[in-house]
Chains A and B, each alone.
Chain A
Amino acid sequence: EILMTQSPATLSVSPGERATLSCRAAQSVNINLAWYQQKPGQAPRLLIYGASTRATGIPARFSGSGSEKEFTLTISSLQSEDSASYYCQQYNNRPYNFGQGTKLEIK
């Protein structure tokens, strides 16, 4: 089982600034890494898959990078609607574990 660790747990950033969220895998997951956004009371929404490919309809201000064990989700020019929890998920090996999440607050 691959442990996924996200940091920081909470992040507070001003509108228009950049947010950088990290996800670390205990062992290599190649580029089989997805990012999701979840707002309270809603189902998660796929943002990124294959570590860096934006899902359909996702704004260009969301970008993903990394491979093997270290991954980053960058949200440039933050907007108020980006306030949410963000989860990474590895799908290289079963069980397809998620990280514990990063809560992004917009100041």
Chain B
Amino acid sequence: QVQLVQSGAEVKTPGASVRVSCKASGYTFTDNYIHWVRQAPGQGLEWMGWINPKSGFTNFAQKFQGRLTLTRDTTISTVYMDLSRLRSDDSSVYYCARVYGTGSFFSFWGQGTLVTVSS
């Protein structure tokens, strides 16, 4: 069965960077795009960007341009999200999510990774 398993919670200070990993299993890793979505405490869902695991091509929401990097390691079926210059309002649960077919909606989700940014 399809699974996306994310790395554990992180606590960072303002200005630092964070890396969250998302390990895929149960399907051919390069067949489906992986997106990242975040959710601040008690708030709604915010789309961040995607990576094509086959080519490595990425696309980001404008607000994350310059701070967000998505990479992948096809040998271990893992996608990495790096967010730099962290601010307190980046404190959120970060989810990786796999698309269904070619549409940019998400049929499988990771369990979420809580990133807390605090001095």
Whether the Cβ atoms of A43 and B62 lie closer than 8 Å is no
Of residues 75 through 104 on chain B, the ones whose CB sits less than 8 Å from some CB of chain A are 95, 97, 100, 103-104
Whether the Cβ atoms of A43 and B44 lie closer than 8 Å is no
| Chain A contact residues: helix, strand, loop or mixed | loop
Work out how many contacts link A and B, with CB atoms closer than 8 A. 57
Residues of A within 8 A of B106 (CB): 34, 36, 44, 46
5 A-B pairs with the lowest CB-CB distances in the bound complex, closest first: A43-B109, A34-B105, A91-B104, A95-B61, A98-B45
Name A residues whose Cβ lies closer than 8 Å to a Cβ of B: 1, 32, 34, 36, 38, 43-46, 49-50, 55-56, 87, 89, 91, 94-101
Name B residues whose Cβ lies closer than 8 Å to a Cβ of A: 35, 37, 44-47, 59, 61-62, 95, 97, 100, 103-107, 109-112
